[in-house]
Amino acid sequence: MTENLTDDYRENFVKLADILIPEAEGMPSASQMHIQNDPLDQILKLRPELRDDLLRVLNLGCGKDPNLFLKELYESDSAAFDSLSNIASAAYLIQPKVHRLLKYSGQVARPSHDSEENDYFRDGLLQPVIDRGRRYREGLD
């Protein structure tokens, strides 16, 4: 699946990703997390539909100034820019070190309590709907 991701493509990917995810406020950059290697491969296995756009971006961006290329890509090809940024952020955020730095423990089951039962009735949020009463629209059965 990732056989066309040459070392040059991976290097270009991480250069672009470093602009999107720079080192800041105690967080490492994309290249410091080596997202161009296994993390990139993991994301492309999970989201194979993004692969063609990524390869197109990496091919177009080879040899160009990464900052100027990203600006141009953002303005001219939003689908490709979105694919690149989604892949880069996903590859970054799946890293255990990033989880620790963000103090993200992952998804945790949170059982509901009796006090939360019918909590959607609190603060009168649904009161206008209740006051309106039942409505029926033909053709929506």
Say if 61 falls within a structural domain. yes
Name the pTM for this structure: 0.73
Residue 27: strand pairing partners: 24
Q: Total structural domains in the chain?
A: 1
Instruction: Write out pLDDT tens, residues 31-60.
Output: 999 999 999 999 999 999 999 989 999 999
What integer pLDDT is reported at residue 29 of this predicted model?
Answer: 97
67 found inside a domain = yes
Residue 141 banded pLDDT, cuts 50, 70, 90: low
Structural domain boundaries enclosing 76: 7-106
- Closest Cα partner for 52 from 5, 10, 89? 5
Answer whether residue 138 is part of any domain. no
Neighbours of 13 (CB within 10 A): 25
**Quick check: is 17 in a domain?**
yes
Contact present, 17 and 92 (Cβ < 8 Å)? yes
Give bridge partners of residue 115 from the DSSP assignment: none
User: Is residue 111 in a domain?
Assistant: no
54 located within any domain:
yes
pLDDT at 126 over 90: no
Q: Give me 15's structure tokens.
A: 């250069």
Mean pLDDT taken over the chain:
88
State the residue for tokens 């006051």. Answer: 131
